[in-house]
Amino acid sequence: MTAKDILRTTEEKMKKTVEAVMREFSEVRTGRAHPALVEGLYIDYYGSPTLLKSLASISVPDAHLIVIQPWDITIIPEIEKAIMKSNLGITPSNDGKLIRLTVPPLSEERRQELAKLVNKMAEEGKVSLRTIRREGKESLEKLERDKVISEDDKFRGIEELQKIIDKYTAKIDELLKIKTKEILEY
């Protein structure tokens, strides 16, 4: 393995970390109905956990309503159970064929709680980035100890690692800024 391989692998891991933070952010409610709020829920479908989006069509007819139409109506109670267990804070209602989720406007207090939550998610993402950087740095140091690369190459690699983490940390900060603004907006 070369220094370039380590840098490439490290950058791929960091990219995946940022994508994971984006996914987590998309599941946080902002007062507006959005399919991503429920798409990632797992439903117990005949004993195996299955994503809701693969069991039903999810639509948003207006800004405060999500409609879930399962292809198999016998799983409606399981879908309702999963929604109640999630931290959405929305009570589902069904008419035997559809499940309706009315997304109430968020109170100021709830907005502040959600802002803190996304802040925590972003911080966890940054911790993951630092862990990945540390692993990359240790790999570079091992290559130097094993005489695969020179000390100068190791230091160049570490500088490059820092540039990579700075880039992905800035991406997380930007995502956090956008999501926080979205949450605190009326």
The yes-or-no verdict on residue 181 having pLDDT over 80 is: yes
Taking residues 163-184, report their average pLDDT.
Answer: 93
Lowest-confidence segment of 7-16, 29-38, 97-106, 112-121 by average pLDDT: 29-38
pLDDT at 168 (0 to 100):
96
State the total domains in the chain: 2
Under DSSP, the state recorded for 105 is: P
What pLDDT, on the 0 to 100 scale, is given for residue 186? 60
31 within a domain of the structure (yes/no):
no
pLDDT in tens, 53-99: 888 999 999 888 999 999 988 999 999 988 888 877 788 898 988 99
92 phi, psi to nearest 5 deg: -75, 150
Q: Which domain holds residue 40?
A: 36-102
Q: Could you give the 3-state DSSP secondary structure of residue 71?
A: coil
Rounded to whole angstroms, the Cα distance separating 75 from 86 reads 17
pLDDT at position 18 is 95
- Residue 84 belongs to a domain with what CATH number? 3.30.1360.40
**111 and 174 housed in the same domain:** yes
Domain boundary among 70, 102, 134: 102
Q: Are residues 118 and 151 in the same domain?
A: yes
What digits encode the pLDDT tens for the residues 97-127? 899 998 888 788 888 888 899 999 999 999 9
H or E element, residue 68: strand 65-70
87: tokens are 């931290």
How is the chain split among helix, strand and coil, in percent rounded to 5? 60, 15, 25
For residue 106 the two structure tokens come to 């968020």
Q: 57: helix, coil or strand? A: strand
